[in-house]
Amino acid sequence: MPRPPILPTIDWPTVFTFAKGFEDWLDAAESPDQAQAINDALAGQSLEPQEEAVVQNLARLVRVVAFAEDWCGDVVRHVPVLQALSDVSGMLHVRYVTRSEHPAVFVRFLTNGGEAIPKFVFLNEAFVECGNWGPMPEACKRLIARGKACGDIGAARRLVSARYAADPGKREVIRELLELAQNTAAVAP
């Protein structure tokens, strides 16, 4: 049996170093209106004290490479959540890239074969990939997958919109991101 092809190793330190900080990424936005919407969402994103405590007490540094582009509605919804967590933590560092800046890296994080964003790749202090999140919470991804499977993606998107409306504080997203951050910062299994 032939051996499977070996993918090249991702140089995460270089990707992270040359990615943009939040303000620089937002300054490069394609749409000033979308950039303003992201800023407004960040300003309005609240965190519960216990959520802040989790990111403030991470045992090790967590780096996140966020594939995000301002034109995407899920980016407008979810990037402010990640950034709010980063803003209250000295141990959660986020840098932003677009798909076109690193296509060979992004292609490894497709969602059901599609180039869905945002995609947040969690790296530990040694730049070891420990997980990824996106483009939406797990329950929503399952709804979209079922919609594709049965040929009714429109109904699936309406269900996802209803879930979003029922969670204006984005608690589901926060919970999933905190779990990834804690796993990435772990000092023991």
For the chain, domains (ranges, CATH) are 12-135+170-184 (3.40.30.10)
- pLDDT for 103-160, tens place per residue? 999 999 999 888 999 999 999 999 999 999 999 999 999 999 999 999 999 999 999 9
The alpha helices in 88-137, defined as continuous H runs, are 103-106
Whole-prediction pTM value?
Answer: 0.95
Is 8 exposed, middle or buried (CB count within 10 Å of its CB: 0-12, 13-18, 19+)?
exposed
Give the model's pLDDT for residue 4: 75
Q: Is the CB of residue 178 less than 8 Å from the CB of residue 55?
A: yes
Check whether 176 has a pLDDT greater than 90: yes
Is 24 exposed, middle or buried (CB count within 10 Å of its CB: 0-12, 13-18, 19+)?
exposed
User: How far is Cα 178 from Cα 184, in angstroms, rounded to an integer?
Assistant: 10
Query: Which residue from 70, 67, 75 is spatially nearest to 108, judged by alpha carbons?
Result: 67
Give the model's pLDDT for residue 177: 98
- pLDDT for 12-50, tens place per residue? 999 999 999 999 999 999 999 999 999 999 999 999 999
